Chain A
Amino acid sequence: MHQFMIEPMFGTDHWQIAGYSIPFTNSALWMAITVAALFVFVWGGMKRELVPGRWQMAVESMTGFIDGLLAANIGPAGKKYVPYIFSLFMFILFANVLGLLPLGLLGVHPFTFTSHFTVTGVLAIMSFSIVLIVGFWRHGLHFFSLFVPHGTPLWLMWLIPVIELVSFLVRPFSLALRLFVAMMAGHVLLEVLSSFVISSGNAGLGWGALIGIPSFILMIAICALEVLVAGIQAYVFALLTSLYLNDAENLH
Chain B
Amino acid sequence: MPQIAQLSATYASQIFWALLFFGIVFFVIGKGMVPKVMATVDARDRQIAGDLKAAEAAREAANAQEEAWKVQSANQRAEAQAVIAKAKADAARATEARLAEANGRIDARVAEADARIGAARAGALGEIEAVAAEAASEIVSRLAGVTVDAGAAASAVKEALHG
Residues in chain A within 8 A of chain B (CB atoms):
1, 4-6, 8, 17, 20-25, 27-28, 31-32, 34-35, 38-39, 42-43, 45-46, 48-50, 52, 56, 59-60, 63-64, 67, 82-84, 86-87, 90-91, 113, 115-119, 122-123, 126, 180, 184
Contact = CB atoms under 8 A, between A and B. Distances in A.
Interface string B10-38: 11111111110110111011110111111
Contacts of B38: 63, 67, 82
Given A52-B44, A83-B35, A118-B18, 14 more contacts: A6-B6, A20-B13, A22-B12, A24-B13, A25-B13, A27-B14, A39-B29, A46-B33, A46-B37, A83-B31, A83-B34, A84-B26, A91-B25, A118-B10
Nearest to A20: B12
| Of listed A5, A32, A35, A184, residue having the most chain B CB within 10 A | A35
Chief secondary structure at chain B's binding surface: helix
Nearest to B16: A22
B40 interface: yes
Contacts, number: 129
A49 B119 CA distance: 113
B29 A46 contact: no
Chief secondary structure at chain A's binding surface: helix
B3 A43 contact: no
A165 to B, nearest CB: 27
Contacts of B83: none
B146 to A, nearest CB: 141
Nearest to B33: A42
B144 interface: no
A60 B34 CA distance: 9
Interface residues of B, number: 36
| Of listed B13, B22, B29, residue having the most chain A CB within 10 A | B13
Nearest to A17: B16
Given A63-B34, A122-B19, A42 B29 contact: yes
B57 interface: no
Interface string B33-54: 1111110110110010000000
A84 B1 CA distance: 31
27 contacts: A1-B1, A1-B2, A6-B2, A20-B13, A20-B16, A21-B12, A22-B16, A24-B17, A27-B13, A27-B14, A31-B21, A35-B21, A38-B25, A39-B28, A42-B33, A43-B33, A60-B37, A82-B30, A82-B38, A87-B22, A90-B25, A122-B19, A122-B22, A123-B18, A126-B22, A180-B3, A184-B3
